[in-house]
A and B are shown apart, each in its own frame.
Chain A
Amino acid sequence: LAKTTQPISMDSYEGQEVNITCSHNNIATNDYITWYQQFPSQGPRFIIQGYKTKVTNEVASLFIPADRKSSTLSLPRVSLSDTAVYYCLVGDRSGGYQKVTFGTGTKLQVIP
């Protein structure tokens, strides 16, 4: 399983763009990159997933460079409700079952 490294915490003011970078140096050819968001007292929820280049949805964008050894989750114009822990995961999408490692995530605090 590819190990991921991300910052423990980040602060941002409301209205700013936030970029959270995740390192995954030993990512395998079949691995996808997935980000989850977890609010206090709730389970994590899926935000975005990608394999290479850029993926965008209504919540966030995911930038993946050509070597795929890192990825950056971008949250445009954050609000107080974006305060949460963000997890980066790397894993094979082809398996019928697999273990994934969530790690400790990045705690984002949005400040008014």
Chain B
Amino acid sequence: DVKVTQSSRYLVKRTGEKVFLECVQDMDHENMFWYRQDPGLGLRLIYFSYDVKMKEKGDIPEGYSVSREKKERFSLILESASTNQTSMYLCASKIAGEQTQYFGPGTRLLVL
């Protein structure tokens, strides 16, 4: 079974803080993704990485950055958290050339 884990299920941060969300997958997948999910807006892609040290902007990259130093780990960074970044953050991974994505359980982030 593919396992995608995220560092925290719930996180509370203050405005202006730097926030790191970690995602780890154990199936040697090349591609990894970060989404945010908000009521009424569905899942929106923030960034994705097709291989180590490679990244591409998704639909809503503003205010976020990412890091992929190792194949199994993909980090999402909020450089200076703002209240409008309060959301559920979902990480996913997949095999290159396949369409099926495997999701982690999500991190619910609250920025005060």
Contacts and interface: CB of A to CB of B under 8 A. Distances in A.
Partners in one complex: yes
Interface of A: 32, 34, 36, 41-46, 49, 87, 89, 91-105
A3 B35 CA distance: 18
Contact of B42 (A34, A46, A98, A103): A103
A32 B98 CA distance: 10
A93 B4 CA distance: 21
List of 7 A-B pairs having minimum Cβ-Cβ separation, nearest first: A43-B103, A97-B50, A104-B42, A102-B43, A96-B96, A46-B100, A93-B99
Interface residues of B, number: 30
Contacts of A103: 42
A93 B43 contact: no
Contact of B97 (A36, A89, A93): A93
